[in-house]
Structure 1
Amino acid sequence: MTKNNEFIRIPHNAYIIVGDGRKALFLRNEGNQTTPRLKTEQVLRNDNPPTREQGSDQPGRSFASVGARRSAMEQTDWQEIGEQRFARTIADALEGLARDRDIPGFVIAAPPRTLAELRRLLDTNVKVRIIAEIDKDLTGHPVEDIERRLSAA
């Protein structure tokens, strides 16, 4: 994989996926390898409120089979579960693109946790087409800024 400080050559019609646990942008390079010109093809959103807004009950307690010892169970992180499900949605969309279109490659930009989850979920047909992985959250950046970052990467 290409590291953050190396120059990334993004072929014409390659897809750049910029995502995190809440939003994913599917951008297609209409430019050339040295001067990307990105066009938004699809935006996926995950309506995933914080855990405090999703879970209303207190964490459960367990009782020892012998004696009177009790322990608290860890509270479920509903937001993290929602982000993992969203990573599956992104992976499914990438698999569909790889299967249905002749795409020369993918560049994936995501925070480290999301990137790791995507690596775990991606099909081999997608993995072999990955040109570069960028472990940065660029989701909130305008497309022009993403273009600049990729051409300077």
Structure 2
Amino acid sequence: MRIPHDACVLVADGRKMLFFRNEGDANTPNLIVEDQAMQANPADRHQKTDAAGQAQSIRGGNFAQGGGSMDETDYHQQAEDRFAAEAAELLRKRALANEFEALIVVAPPKTLGEMRKHYHKTVSDRLTGELDKDLTGHPVDQIEKLISAA
């Protein structure tokens, strides 16, 4: 995937986002970090105190009669989904402020899917590429190579 000169590149996962600007050209990208944000999001087991609950039918009895167990809330995933929505909101603000004409978003599939739900039309119009990989822990030169090779 070619990264146009002056394009904004967002590399994110459910806990970290990095905004880059390509100061190079499409053939030899040179990504420079413009901004970054990180969210503390402990494992789900550290965010809850109780096990899943049980529901009973008003008639009494078991699941077949209307009762049953309730799904556990995954607080860790909820926090990651909120972070992805916040990343999409930052993209909207930057797009409306004309901070970029071309955008590439790199994120793991689940995060990318959550972000897509929140893309503003202006962001979608400027989106030139997406890559469904988790690159937040990679050095910048590897990010450049992996995006260019995609």
> When the two structures are superposed, what TM-score results if normalisation uses the length of structure 1?
0.90
Q: 1:23 aligns with which of 16, 26, 34?
A: 16
1:73 aligns with 2:108: no
Between the aligned residues of both structures, percent identity stands at 42
CA deviation profile, 1:70-89 (whole Å, cap 9, x unmatched): 42211100001001100111
May I ask how many residue pairs the two structures share in their alignment? 146
Gaps of 5+ in 1: 1-7
**Residue equivalent to 2:120:** 123
**After alignment, is 59-68 or 32-41 more displaced?**
59-68
Query: Following TM superposition, by how much is the alpha carbon of 1:101 offset from its aligned partner in structure 2, in angstroms?
Result: 2.5
Q: Which has the higher contact order (CA 8 A, sep 6+)?
A: 1
The structure 1 segments of at least 4 consecutive aligned residues displaced by more than 4 Å after TM superposition are none
C-alpha deviation, 1:120, in angstroms: 0.8
Other-structure match for 1:14: 7
1:116 partner letter: G
Contact in 2 for aligned 1:11/1:104 (Cα 8 Å): no
Partner amino acid, structure 1, of 2:10 = I
Q: CA deviation at 1:150?
A: 2.2
CA distance in 2, matches of 1:67, 1:118: 42
**1:102 Cα offset (Å):** 4.2
Q: Which residue of 4, 15, 26 maps to 1:33?
A: 26
In structure 2, runs of 5+ residues without a counterpart are none
What is the CA–CA distance in structure 2 between the aligned matches of 1:67 and 1:47, rounded to whole Å? 42
